[in-house]
A and B are shown apart, each in its own frame.
Chain A
Amino acid sequence: MGKRSFYLETKDPIIKFAVLDKILDLARANSLWPITFGLACCAIEMMCASMARFDIARFGAEVFRPSPRQADLMIVSGTVTKKMAPILVTLYEQMPSPKWVIAMGNCAISGGPFVFEGQYNLVEGVDLLVPVDIYVPGCPPRPESLLEGLMKLEEKITGTRRFPVPEPKW
């Protein structure tokens, strides 16, 4: 791992259209299409987030696409093993730019509970493979956490936050 420089560095375009870019960013941020890419336990919580109760559709991100060609957001929901790593990278490369990655759960962030001395099959963090925009911690994170991560990503794309930060209850 790490030897391959696999992803294209996103460079600033030569010509910029300030207002148009802003409008496009706004459109992108509010219609993120995630790829249907469940890895492990976190995938169930990702599914829960897209179901009736948590309803990810409120934020325009309900269109889960089985094909990476139609998606612009990859939610890495689970442990990435050495056998899975090249496939994950291929999927990422197949997604059209601009694209974003959310590392969901401790496994995707750092290997989580499966890191121990002498481990032989784990990629300790998906950021060793692809650039990660948002980290959502938890084992597994609750659907609310994923939604908050999604909102953080929107903030990253547009520069402003659409929804207020919720007050903690305790």
Chain B
Amino acid sequence: MTMTNRVIEEFKAEFKSVDITEAPYEKQGYHLSIEARTGNLLNIIDFLDKREFYIVDLFCVDYQDYLELVYFFNTHRELCRIKVTLKLDPVKPVAPTISNIYTIARWYEREVHEFFGVYFEGHPNLTYLFLHEEIGHYPLRKQHVPVPDGDKKLLNSFRPHEEENSFFINLGPQHPSTHGVLRVVLKMDGEYLISAEPVLGYLHRMHEKMAENKSYMQFLPNPARMDYPGALLFNLAYVEAVEKLCGIEVPERAKYIRTITCELNRIASHLLWLGAFPADLGALTPFMYAFDDRENILDILEDVTGSRLTYCYFRFGGLYNDINEETFIDATKRFIERMRERLVMYDKLITGNVIFINRVKNIGILEQGQAKKYGFSGPVIRSTGIPFDMRKVEPYAAYGSIDFEIPTGHIGDNMDRYMVRMKEIEISLNIIEEGIKRLPSGPFKTEKVPKKLKPPKGDIYNAVESTRGETGVYIVSDESDTPYRMRWRVPSYSNLMTFPHLSRGVLIADAIATLGSYDIVVPEIDR
């Protein structure tokens, strides 16, 4: 019996009056949908929590007549995506908080509050997370809804209060090791951290609002600017979602080329991290070496996509253009050969280095049990020993027909996260090699795709494994040529939010090492 059937049976036994419906998975990307009410929401969430579901995402959709809170859940063992919805009154939207059960909801709920004006009863700290104090309305609401006067105090972001024996340090927004413009307010006792609170939104570029103003085609360059080191993977998440929504078929050749280029991009992204992580610890030499290797990949990808960084290569139903069989494959093969040699060199240079080991081993340990509370993914979850990878769990592109292993760590410390990423580079090389071997001939795009896409009414959730973890896009279509609502589930967000938990009582230098090992990209978190 599959997970889905089991959940339906148990759910029907426990909640007699609540509807649980099976959704067409191929069309919508989730298996079950549950319509909750304010009274029984917490019981349903509790039910899912007991069955080891982790929280994928929490967001809101404004349908004008009502606001809909959407909770996505999934399990790490078997794919069973559940959508729980809660309808709210648009005039005075109030919902119960689930942050006591799922810790990550603390931040998701703050986000929903500032963008939609939804209040969460029992939330410990319902202040603004992203937006600037000057913005006096709820941006993602369909109509202009000003922030009520009584709530202006909430507009103030995190304001630290000094106490005896402790002081505050602002890590960022301009700090060499925050990888962009992340700000973390650290409460310190001498060299030790008492608590850490991320403050986001310094690079909030309104992607989700932009999607509601642009057509499906016009939004195509945007995902690449969300996660620029792994641009192709975000591009793929979006393109596949729209393809599923419209029912566009993709030729086999395109699928394989997508896989190969995505894996090349994954290596480039990991190399960027490989440079930045030791640099956070004070070692600048690997930075130079890693960028040297990265340039090789950029050359290959520039040849096919035309850009160095923010690729926009995939199109609905295929690719922008076909690869040049000779030059691309030759260059890729040469790169694989070179990279394998370099990996040995990196091993000698970094992995065995005593200073490096002392800085990362047994520091920043994440337990497996936290995985469902925070919903973190990617190398961060694999380092704890859970072999969770969207490429295996829910194969997309050509990953279903290529065999590869998933590297996992043991205890989930910084060293494990480092080792997992290094192994992933190796495995990506194998995938590329296998992909090139099997590359079929044929068309690289479907000809019938219309210029102006008008998908049928409905919603879809599509996830891919980007370099940092599970990247999902949720699109609501209302049959017009612009998306009604687009929501991005980004992996760095949930990965970063474990930082306050990990940084309690550690040295500030260790906290920097932990932050570096996450490989966060701030534009992705801020969107």
A81 near B272 with CB under 8 A, answer: no
User: Does B77 have its Cβ within 8 Å of any Cβ on chain A?
Assistant: no
User: Does A129 have its Cβ within 8 Å of any Cβ on chain B?
Assistant: no
User: Does B205 have its Cβ within 8 Å of any Cβ on chain A?
Assistant: yes
A92 CB, nearest partner CB in chain B, Å: 11
A83 near B132 with CB under 8 A, answer: yes
A121-B132, A140-B309 known; A83 and B291 CB under 8 Å?
Answer: no
Using a CB-CB cutoff of 8 Å, which residues 102-140 of chain A contact chain B?
Answer: 113-114, 116-122, 139-140
Using a CB-CB cutoff of 8 Å, which residues 178-209 of chain B contact chain A?
Answer: 179-181, 201-206, 209
A114 to B134, CA, bound (A): 19
Out of B210, B214, B288, B310, name the residue touching A41 (CB < 8 Å): B310
User: Does A28 have its Cβ within 8 Å of any Cβ on chain B?
Assistant: no
The closest CB in chain A to the CB of B272 belongs to: A44
User: Does B175 have its Cβ within 8 Å of any Cβ on chain A?
Assistant: yes
Out of B204, B222, B229, name the residue touching A44 (CB < 8 Å): B229
B128 CB, nearest partner CB in chain A, Å: 10
B174 near A81 with CB under 8 A, answer: no
B-side interface size class? 35 or more
B131 CB, nearest partner CB in chain A, Å: 7
User: Does B440 have its Cβ within 8 Å of any Cβ on chain A?
Assistant: no
A52 near B292 with CB under 8 A, answer: yes
The closest CB in chain B to the CB of A139 belongs to: B310
Of the candidate stretches A7-15, A19-27, A31-39, the one touching chain B is A31-39
The closest CB in chain B to the CB of A86 belongs to: B132
User: Does B47 have its Cβ within 8 Å of any Cβ on chain A?
Assistant: no
Out of B132, B225, B295, name the residue touching A53 (CB < 8 Å): B295
User: Does A146 have its Cβ within 8 Å of any Cβ on chain B?
Assistant: no
A122 near B295 with CB under 8 A, answer: no
Out of A45, A91, A114, name the residue touching B205 (CB < 8 Å): A114
A116 near B180 with CB under 8 A, answer: no
A121 to B291, CA, bound (A): 33
Which A residues lie within 8 Å of B137 (CB)? Answer: 120
A114 to B173, CA, bound (A): 21
A39-B180, A44-B272, A116-B214 known; A87 and B205 CB under 8 Å?
Answer: no
A66 to B70, CA, bound (A): 42
Which B residues lie within 8 Å of A84 (CB)? Answer: 173, 181, 202-203
A-side interface size class? 35 or more
User: Does A157 have its Cβ within 8 Å of any Cβ on chain B?
Assistant: no
B292 near A119 with CB under 8 A, answer: no
Which A residues lie within 8 Å of B225 (CB)? Answer: 40-41, 113
Using a CB-CB cutoff of 8 Å, which residues 134-182 of chain B contact chain A?
Answer: 134-135, 137, 139, 173-176, 179-181
User: Does A82 have its Cβ within 8 Å of any Cβ on chain B?
Assistant: yes
A41 near B174 with CB under 8 A, answer: no
B220 CB, nearest partner CB in chain A, Å: 11
Using a CB-CB cutoff of 8 Å, which residues 288-311 of chain B contact chain A?
Answer: 288, 291-292, 295, 308-310
Using a CB-CB cutoff of 8 Å, which residues 70-84 of chain A contact chain B?
Answer: 78-79, 81-84
B277 CB, nearest partner CB in chain A, Å: 14
Which B residues lie within 8 Å of A121 (CB)? Answer: 131-132, 135, 139, 201, 204-206
User: Does B97 have its Cβ within 8 Å of any Cβ on chain A?
Assistant: no
A39 to B178, CA, bound (A): 11
A40-B228, A121-B132 known; A51 and B288 CB under 8 Å?
Answer: yes
Which A residues lie within 8 Å of B291 (CB)? Answer: 47-48, 51-53
Out of B206, B222, B523, name the residue touching A40 (CB < 8 Å): B523
Which B residues lie within 8 Å of A117 (CB)? Answer: 213
B372 CB, nearest partner CB in chain A, Å: 32
A113 to B226, CA, bound (A): 12
B508 CB, nearest partner CB in chain A, Å: 15
B229 near A114 with CB under 8 A, answer: no
Which A residues lie within 8 Å of B523 (CB)? Answer: 40-41
Closest 7 CB pairs of A and B: A51-B291, A41-B228, A82-B132, A83-B132, A66-B176, A84-B202, A36-B176
Question: What is B's interface to A at a CB cutoff of 8 Å?
Answer: 131-132, 134-135, 137, 139, 173-176, 179-181, 201-206, 209-210, 213-214, 221-222, 225, 228-229, 272, 287-288, 291-292, 295, 308-310, 523
Given contacts A52-B291, A82-B135, 18 further A-B contacts (CB under 8 A): A35-B174, A36-B176, A41-B309, A44-B309, A45-B309, A52-B288, A52-B292, A66-B176, A79-B203, A79-B205, A81-B201, A83-B204, A113-B221, A114-B205, A116-B210, A116-B213, A119-B206, A121-B139
15 A-B contacts, Cβ less than 8 Å apart? Answer: A38-B181, A39-B203, A48-B291, A48-B295, A53-B292, A66-B176, A79-B205, A81-B132, A81-B204, A113-B221, A116-B213, A118-B209, A120-B137, A121-B132, A142-B308
Question: What is A's interface to B at a CB cutoff of 8 Å?
Answer: 35-41, 43-45, 47-48, 51-53, 66, 78-79, 81-84, 87, 91, 113-114, 116-122, 139-140, 142
